[in-house]
Amino acid sequence: MTRIKLFILSLIVLVGCQQYDDDLDPVASFSLSKTTVNTFEVVNLKNTGAGEFYTIYTGAEGSQYANREQGDSGIPGNQNGDASFSYTKPGVYEVAFVVSTYADGEVKESVSFKSVSVHDTLNTLSKISFQDIGEYYRSGNTNASFYAVESIPNAQKEVLVPVLNYRHFGYQNRSSLPLVPTISVASEAAEIIIEKNQNYTRGDRVIHTNFEERFRPLTYTVKPANGEGNDYLVSVVEIPEFEEFTLNGVASINKVHPSDDQVFFLTAPASAGQDLTSLTPTFSLFYPAETSVYHNGADVSNGTDALDFTNVVTFQLEFEQEDYESVFHVDSEVHVKALEVPGFENYEVEGVAGTISLESAGNLAVYHIDVELPADQIPEGQTARTWLRSLKPTFSVPDAEGVETVSIEKGGVQISGETQNDFSAYYLEYEENPNSFDLDDLRKTYYVDRTMDLQTDSLTYEKAFSLRTIYKVGIIVK
């Protein structure tokens, strides 16, 4: 029964066969090109016996001759019975060479064994990735190149991994970032030792910051099972960007390029009719001593250099890590556009103009609009609430490039002056003491958005720059 099972298995894995006198018994005999090898080094098996079918059990996990009844399988020899294989882990492996014949319904087999000693001296680091934070930031749509070095040359001993600043991930500081490296090494049996004393286990978090909350390079040692360790200096480095960037005292809105973390878009709010030809930006940097700022190849200093912001202004930022300037440096590109803040020129309900007042300024301006409707306008037989369910406010926004249709807060519904609005939940009826009520919790919210593309010589970045103004409308019936 065992011979029949083996014959069937041999046919399934398409083992090699050659012409053979099936009246003769099979002879298992073979030679190996090497009996002492390194991990991943190829071993060539040459058939020196005779038979019809050849199966080689390498002795590795899942390919052990002693366990074939439990499901272990061999690899097929070619038409001459030869084969090649390698090992991923060090150890002593028993190679079984099975030669079989089939004649008159009977399976005959012969088996020969040899040992191979496998050593592990491979100590190279081939890949390191901190994609956990990349996937967190991009909600699973991460590009494989983010926060990873995909291919490390054998001779390279310094590894730079650029990452975005912690605030893009919603963390409070650098040390709280979940820096859990995924490490690929040349040998599965090799150990990873960090800073000469910390054995790394897959899934461990590594602290790449010092007591000053600054990233620091760490030594990762690849220690094979048999041989010397190999040191790599790994540095997580922040992609340089402005911590703050203001024009006329108003902070800009920062946005990262959707597929390139080394490109940033800043939208600087500007007032209507503002002269943009000579504005002096003020800015701060996360690493001011190690970051240089350039525009058109010239140094730019904070608060001293006036620039023309009529069109997009592009800055180049260069970061060089202290004490490692020659090996750990990363650049970025920041495009800045001054855009006029979008908003209502007027807003009316039932012919009554609303009073527009600024609630809070900044890069996200918030306005209140109060509309007082006379109670005598309520149609006979209707309550104020019923009447307010079907009003059509009229409004206008400046005719400027990139200004989009106004949208209502919930659901982003696009509206116009012909769109029916339900104000029934956003009003107060006048009382004898008008100061006894507050509209703040009963306001309908509108967004006025403005976006603009960035056109370069080779690419168009859609909606690279964007501004939003919020209007909160309250109705008083009196």
Domain that holds residue 331: 242-340
**Alpha-carbon gap, residue 23 to 30, rounded angstroms:** 22
Specify whether the CB–CB gap between 198 and 121 falls below 8 A: no
Q: What is the pLDDT of residue 320?
A: 94
Q: Are residues 64 and 10 in the same domain?
A: yes
Q: Are residues 175 and 191 in the same domain?
A: yes
Q: Are residues 133 and 226 in the same domain?
A: yes
End residue of a domain, out of 119, 144, 163: 119
Q: Are residues 472 and 431 in the same domain?
A: yes
Q: Are residues 143 and 190 in the same domain?
A: yes
Q: Are residues 146 and 231 in the same domain?
A: yes
Q: What is the pLDDT of residue 432?
A: 44
Specify whether the CB–CB gap between 437 and 431 falls below 8 A: yes
CATH code for the domain of 108:
2.60.40.10
End residue of a domain, out of 238, 254, 283: 238
Radius of gyration, alpha carbons of the chain: 36
Give me the residue label for tokens 């609009």. 369
Q: Are residues 234 and 247 in the same domain?
A: no
What global pTM score does this model have? 0.73
Q: What region, left, alpha or beta, does residue 190 occupy, with left being phi > 0 and alpha being psi -120 to 50 degrees? A: beta
Q: Are residues 258 and 351 in the same domain?
A: no
Q: What is the pLDDT of residue 460?
A: 82
Tally of structural domains, the chain? 4
Q: Are residues 163 and 99 in the same domain?
A: no
CATH code for the domain of 298:
2.60.40.2340
Q: What is the pLDDT of residue 142?
A: 41
pLDDT tens per residue across all 478 residues of the chain:
443 333 333 333 434 555 555 567 899 999 999 999 998 899 999 999 999 999 999 999 999 999 999 999 999 999 999 999 999 889 999 999 999 998 888 889 999 999 999 999 888 888 888 866 644 444 433 433 457 777 788 778 999 988 888 888 777 888 888 788 888 888 878 899 999 888 888 778 888 988 888 899 999 999 998 888 999 999 999 999 999 999 888 888 888 887 788 899 999 998 878 899 999 999 999 999 999 999 999 999 999 999 999 999 999 999 999 888 888 999 999 999 998 888 888 899 989 999 998 887 777 888 999 898 888 888 888 888 888 888 888 888 877 777 766 777 766 777 776 778 888 776 666 544 444 445 566 788 888 888 888 887 777 888 889 888 899 888 888 8
Q: Are residues 29 and 71 in the same domain?
A: yes
Q: Are residues 225 and 308 in the same domain?
A: no
End residue of a domain, out of 119, 147, 162: 119
Specify whether the CB–CB gap between 269 and 363 falls below 8 A: yes
Specify whether the CB–CB gap between 159 and 233 falls below 8 A: yes
**Closest among 288, 192, 295 to 238, alpha carbons compared:** 288
User: In the structure encoding, which two tokens stand for residue 235, read together?
Assistant: 């540095």
Q: Are residues 218 and 298 in the same domain?
A: no
